[in-house]
Structure 1
Amino acid sequence: MKKTLQAENSIDTWFKQYYDELYAFAVKQTNCTSQAKDLVQETFIAAIQSLDSFKNLSAPKTWLYSILKRKIIDSYRAGNKYILQENVEDDIDTQEAHLLDNHDFLRCLKRALASLPRQWRRIVVAKHYHGKSPEQICEEFDISMQNYWQIMHRAKLQLKKQISKF
């Protein structure tokens, strides 16, 4: 009983501390407020269900973000049913919605990817094309999580610089 009360207090505290950040992240990733709310709610439900497995090896915020990222990936793999139901395409700039249909842009994107160092390119492709989690990528490439985030940050900056020339 005492452990259950402590667990409820932890989740309640984490909800108050991290909900806004998790929600903002989910909105940024999905471009859909209702989907973001659902994903964050599912994140906290999963956290409650697996709280016994949380060993404090990472910060609670890190653990919650990793759950949320998996939920977002699962949502995309399921076909973004929320986005389709809400017709969010109306809110997206027409140019952005059809950017991947633009052959010139695709050529530019391929050149930008080719400009990345080999390992960076392989990591970016593993994440954004193959949908692998950061944990899977770190294991596959034998890198630390900190190194992974540094590579992703630097790769995104370089890609943005190259693509902005388009």
Structure 2
Amino acid sequence: MTQKTTDAAGAATPAALDQWAARLLQTRWIVRAPIPLFRAGLGWLFGGRFVMVEHTGRKSGEPRYVVLEVIERETNALRVASGHGPRAQWLKNLAANPAARLWVGRSKGVPAMARVLPEIDAAAALARYARVHPDAWDHLKGAMDELNGGEAIIPVVEFTPPSR
């Protein structure tokens, strides 16, 4: 059964918006557009809702950058979700080398260690995000499901200060 993407008045339905968002998330220049702003010290323009993560390429050893939505924060912990699921390159890089630097708000290059949360903890963090941001979650989840061709597996990564 094919999902309708417009209603009787021709307005886009949530399914159409999810498909559109999924296409945007696959457009490299769009998802990379915020990186120069963060690197120029303008991350504060995004408030605390987004973070730029500097990580090391697992094959190249070169610095890599990705901007992600912060789904949850606590004292000394910041969590993000992998919209591209377990196949995201940044996620694979952090699994190989968990050392990272974070740019969020007015903070720049803060050292952090990454840890992929166990599934049960990831599901709990995503459920809390869904309660706080229900509309954003509906579209985010829809876009992730669209990207993954079905029910998305959404890993959550927690960043904490490095151990001393």
Q: TM-score, normalization: structure 1? A: 0.27
Q: Which has the higher contact order (CA 8 A, sep 6+)?
A: 2
- Please identify which structure carries the higher helix content: 1
Q: Structure 2 length as normaliser, TM-score?
A: 0.27
Structure with higher strand content: 2
- The structure with the larger Rg is 1
